[in-house]
A and B are shown apart, each in its own frame.
Chain A
Amino acid sequence: MTTTVLPAAAAELGEGPRTARLAREAIASGLATTLLGALGLVLGVVAIFGPTRHLRIDWLLPLAGVRFDVDPLGGLFIAVTGAVAVAVGIYTVGYAQREHWARFPMVVLPLFVAGMLLVPAAGSVPTFLLAWELMAAASLVLVLSEHNRGAVRFAGVFYAVMTQLGFVMILLALVLLSAAAGGDAFTTIAAHADDMSAGTRTAVFVLTVLGFGSKAGLLPLHAWLPKAHPEAPSPVSALMSAAMVNMGIYGIIRIDLQILGPGPQWWGLTLMILGAVSAVFGVLQATVATDLKRLLAYSTTENMGLVTLALGTASLLSASGAPDVAAIAMTAALLHVLAHAAFKTLAFLAAGSVLAATGLRDLDKLGGLARRMPVTTVMFGIGALGASGLPMGAGFVSEWILFQSLIHSPPDGNTLLALAMPLSVGAVALTTGLGIASMVKAFGVGFLARPRSVAAEDARESPMSMLTGMGLAAAACAVFAFWPALVAPALRGVLDALPEVGGDTAGVQLATFLRLPGIDGSLSPALLAVALAAGVLLAFAASRWGARHRPAPVEVPLWACGAETLSPRMQYTATSFAEPLQRVFDNVLRPDTDVEVTHFAESQYLVEKVTFTTRLADPVEQRLYTPVVGAVIALAQTVRRAHNGSVHLYLLYGAIGLLVVLLVAQ
């Protein structure tokens, strides 16, 4: 890792012109990213509250021309991306210097943000696809920043191929749409959407769910996420997880919910099933992951699964004639997108801080960072609280609203709803529970207790720019945790533009008290926080009350079960923490466990060394991707054998072609 080389490199570089140039470039890159982000935030907010803005450039993009239409839905996603970019940009100033980034990734980082800002602004099919591919190309370059490592190269190629596969599906869907509508602009397609045949609509739905779902990290095409996010530099991972995956959600909302309308009931059901399965699978993998960034990546799959579940609920309820509850589900989806952006950015930036300080991602080797990196620990704690969905965490309010919409679905004797809703409630509950476990593991094992390795012992706190970036993200988390009313007008503005999913109903009223007028639910996160704080103060005061009359605390050595000393290696590791859950879900996870016992040469009865290895591959990758790749290679080998270099065989092919032509021309 670069950081283990850091002392030597620093000694080499010294205070020379190279360090100064690196600082200049890092500041330029970070500043550009932040400024772009701020621009995006402003533009997005303006678009949500103002009229739709248009821009056409006919000479750009040969044979197509470029067209931008920024409406409230696009504006929301532009604003989210911009906000994430602001925090990441400031963070990058310090991170790039710490990790000695090359010049090319620093140049591409603002371009990546620009691409992401353009996707929701696109108003026609060619523009959308152009922005999408620009975003994908820039992200690929950034993932390959440290291409000297083999794992990075492998992850990059894997990511490139899966992104292309997703792009191809989206391309096919969108050109089918524009061919059926007779025009490229989204407004034209929306106007003709009702005239399209059921076959076209179904094909477009299936393709977009697969293609956009892949970008959002949903099963079954999610496997790039846990490979690419850990290998990318941490600011890039933050941007990808908190901003880029939202583009998949944006695509599903734009095409399947807005343009093609709420669709038949099976559309909503499909989204719900996909979302639920992704959520449970993602959180399960997060629970057993020992790589901190891989854990966070699977957590993204989980959260996007929850968002998709909410979208599916909104679609299903809207198609079943309950638009007011649908609006509530839609609010949950959008709010969760925002909240996830906040806490995932924070979590990844904190993980990056740990990586820069220790060079480690492996939770089994971290620990004891609370003393050495207090600010980072608090930051990660806030992010983990948000990811777990507990009260006072950023994700709590949106999950609560989602629960409310699922529980209060109308019981009009609709069997489908009667089945789907309780099962979804179960899935969300399971997800939340396992999510708490995975975050506790990440926080507890990674940051608390004693350090498990030398590198963790030598950790030092990050520079101010990185802490500032994390602080901004933490502030956003606090807003979503205590005062979601701040974003209420924005959500209202977006919902007004989505009448297909009940946007024209009363929906959710987000104020100090969260009210759901249609179903008589209410919650006040701010009051909850105040009550909790009061309770903590009361408990603290109560413990202090009798302290003067109690004997002073005495330090004694810890009981070590008869062993001489306690070493940090005897603490819980991430693997052992997750082991009970891994046993429960053994059939799904299918771990590959290996125990190797080495005896002494002199005696078979004395054990010298025991090695325990456990490998958890992604089961979807093993059972779905590997056979498909194998089939492609088998086909390729067949074609290869048919081209064996013999000029007679080649001429024979030509002769057969001639015979076919002669016969067909009759």
Chain B
Amino acid sequence: MSYLLLVPILAPLVAAGLAALLGWRRLTAYVTLAAAFAVLLSGAILVHRVESGAVFAVGHLLRADSLTVTMLLVMGTVGTLATWASVGYIDAELRDGHTDRAGAHLYAVLLPLFLAAMALAVVANNIGVMWVAIEATTVATAFLVGHRRTRAAFEAAWKYVVICSVGIALALLGTVLLYFVSLHAGASSAHALDIDTLLNNAAQLDPDVTRLAAGLLLLGYGAKAGLVPFHTWLADAHSQAPAPVSALMSGVLLSVAFASLLRVKSVVDLTLGTGFLRAGLLVVGLLTVLIAASLLVVQTDFKRMLAYSSMENMGLVAIAAAAGTKLAIAALLLHVLAHGIGKSLVFLAAGQLQAAHDSTAISAVTGVLTRSRLVGVAFAVGLAVLIGLPPFAMFASELSIARALAGANLGWVLGATLLLLTIAFASLVRNGSRMLLGPPQPDAPTIALPGTVAAAMVTGIILSLALGLSAGPLTALFQSAATQLGASS
């Protein structure tokens, strides 16, 4: 059973190797899809196993608990949708001349490497290895962001690499300081950064240096999660990247970075008490939601609009983590999963709109529901998921986050957050109605829809509905993850 933990890392690596040899073709694209599906399967098989305790593999090098499995499920689901859509998407790009064979080859190699790096980040037991994996995702996605080779794409790639790398460097400093205090608490040098070692020795860690390390790790992993103050790369990178990559970055990478932060939080809370990171996450989360909501009001570009929506959701997730109760953590994980599926759905639709209009301006797109039923419905359903309407899952997760915040005596925070979310809601609805409703302009281009993109969209719609009705076995998984992270009741 423990070798199952190697599958999420090795399967995408194999796909990347195959792509490096053969270039972009149907075979390699479908092997990548199979790898993403393998990640999903391995997570699904482990669901029941991890509820009773963590699973280890390769000695103590890899570790899976309920949080890991949740992140594997998110990664697998969104990864499957994104890689499936990539098949038709890249073929269409090649046909339209937006990229060449070399670009497609690079895409084919980097996408599974990206998946492998994220998988390593969630199954690693050593938080130093976790750091390496997160930094590797920056490197892997840098050229994915710049895929289209336009001026805007390069600008986005530069800002992404620079700002994220600075942030993640601060996280490295925090990790070094954590290693320092762990050694001083008596851990052996080979295992000082292991999660279980840190949890065991948490009470003996020096509080002052831990406080410094925690602050740095909050900044650093917050940078990769799109939280203030290193949030400024998000809109540029997510809007310039090709749609399947945006879906993966918005839907999974932000959450994986936040999951790393949650791991650190579980250790720091034992050392310092919950007060320090609770205050830090509240400030960071509220500022992030404020900035995201404000920038959504003045948006004129629909992909940037979706990126700011991701930022807003990450801010909400940070606020939920600050509350720290069992319900809050479980709701946060449901939110991450629901957001992943909904965001990929809407990004895939947006990608098709961009391909049709060769522009991402909101004013350029009108009457989508009339022009293309499936793209319009996918975009509408995705937006409905994001604004928190039932019967989709983000309604349930936002409701539960609200209940958790009220129960944790954070009523004022909840009120402010809800107000900001309403402002974001207004922008999304207004822009959505401008794009979807009404009669199309007479010279509007036809919206092409490759087969695999359509299939991925339909699957996404069905999954969103299903998750909104019932979480099934996932409820127990989320709750056990909350308990394992040390959430208070």
Contact = CB atoms under 8 A, between A and B. Distances in A.
Given A147-B437, A654-B167, A175 B414 contact: yes
A178 B403 CA distance: 8
B56 interface: no
A137 B389 contact: yes
Most buried by A among B397, B471, B472, B474: B471
Interface string B345-378: 0000000000000000000000000000000000
A658 B169 CA distance: 12
A130 B297 contact: no
A61 B398 CA distance: 12
Contacts of B407: 179
A661 B163 CA distance: 18
Contacts of B474: 62
A148 interface: yes
Given A647-B159, A650-B232, A157 B415 contact: no
B441 to A, nearest CB: 13
A178 to B, nearest CB: 7
Interface string B278-306: 00000000000011001101100000000
Interface stretch (A159-167, A239-247, A297-305, A499-507): A159-167
Interface in A631-666: 632-633, 635-640, 643, 647, 650-651, 653-654, 656-658, 661-662, 664-665
Given A161-B422, A635-B294, A665 B470 contact: no
Nearest to B387: A164
Interface stretch (B7-15, B101-109, B213-221): B213-221
Contacts of B403: 125-126, 175, 178-179, 184
B429 interface: yes
B232 A653 contact: yes
B185 to A, nearest CB: 19
A632 B433 contact: no
Contacts of A63: 327, 330-331, 334, 396-397, 400, 471, 475, 478
Contacts of B170: 658
Contact of A168 (B233, B419, B434): B419
A206 to B, nearest CB: 12
Interface stretch (B25-33, B126-134, B137-145, B223-231): B223-231
B458 interface: no
Contacts of B430: 157, 161
A656 B229 contact: yes
Interface in B394-453: 395-397, 399-400, 402-403, 405-407, 411, 414-415, 418-419, 421-423, 425-426, 429-430, 433-434, 437-439
Interface residues of A, number: 54
Interface in B297-356: 297-298, 327, 330-331, 334
Nearest to B331: A63
A154 B380 CA distance: 17
Interface in A490-543: none
A63 B475 CA distance: 7
B297 A632 contact: yes
B54 interface: no
A464 interface: no
B402 A171 contact: yes
A129 B230 CA distance: 36
Given A137-B390, A657-B230, A168 B422 contact: yes
B444 to A, nearest CB: 14
Contacts of B232: 643, 650, 653
A254 interface: no
Given A126-B399, A130-B390, A172-B418, A665 B297 contact: no
A203 B412 CA distance: 11
Given A651-B162, A654-B229, A658-B170, A147 B414 contact: no
Contacts of B437: 144, 147-148, 153, 156
A208 to B, nearest CB: 14
Contact of A62 (B393, B405, B423): B393
A43 B290 CA distance: 46
A383 B132 CA distance: 73
A125 B314 CA distance: 26
A640 B219 contact: no
B390 A651 contact: no
Contacts of A61: 396, 469-470
8 contacts: A125-B403, A133-B390, A137-B384, A172-B414, A175-B405, A178-B403, A657-B229, A657-B230
Interface of B: 158-159, 162-163, 166-167, 170, 208, 211-212, 214-216, 218-219, 223, 228-230, 232-233, 290-291, 294-295, 297-298, 327, 330-331, 334, 384, 387, 389-391, 393, 395-397, 399-400, 402-403, 405-407, 411, 414-415, 418-419, 421-423, 425-426, 429-430, 433-434, 437-439, 467-472, 474-475, 478
